[in-house]
Amino acid sequence: MFLYPFKTIWLKTGSGREDIAGSILQQTYLSDAGYKKSDNLTKFFYGLVNENEFVLENIGNRRIPEFFEGDIVGVGDETYVKLRMGALKHVRIYILYWLLLIAGMFFLIRAMFGLDTVDISIQSIFGVVMLFLAGYGYYFTRQFHQKVQSGIDFFRGLLQAEVISGDEVPPIFKR
């Protein structure tokens, strides 16, 4: 779906789980480390990182998406990262936003065709609000889609990995 502000890709790397977690850890403030910066390196993320998964929020790089979640699977030199990028932390917030917009448009259309008796000034204000929400939703998803490739390139370089299709990942590593 072209307006859906979430994308999932698979990365294949020759590094082990510890190396992947260490690379991500260098870019992250950890929420379980007392919220402290332990070195003078620039940090781009805030979140949780371990050898099996990571959950990150972008706090320092405006060219990449806002949220990243990843599962680190595989063994030895054959390690895969399932990377999910998103403009919102949860899909349910996105769905709720569009359901609210659709419901508002439904009631606006009913009022415009005279099925509901609503004052014309309220109709016009409500119409402007619905138009603003639709425009904001479009702008929001458009910004995300412009940042996706930069996010892919960032993690490809950080993990020294290549992007692969989900079909190339052994079924045992898929969850």
Confidence of residue 106 (pLDDT cuts 50, 70, 90): confident
Helix-strand-coil split of the chain, %, nearest 5 = 45, 25, 30
pLDDT of residue 35: 53
pTM for this entry: 0.78
Rounded to the nearest 5 degrees, what angle is found at the Cα of 86, between the Cα atoms of 72 and 88?
A: 125
Average pLDDT over residues 98-104: 85
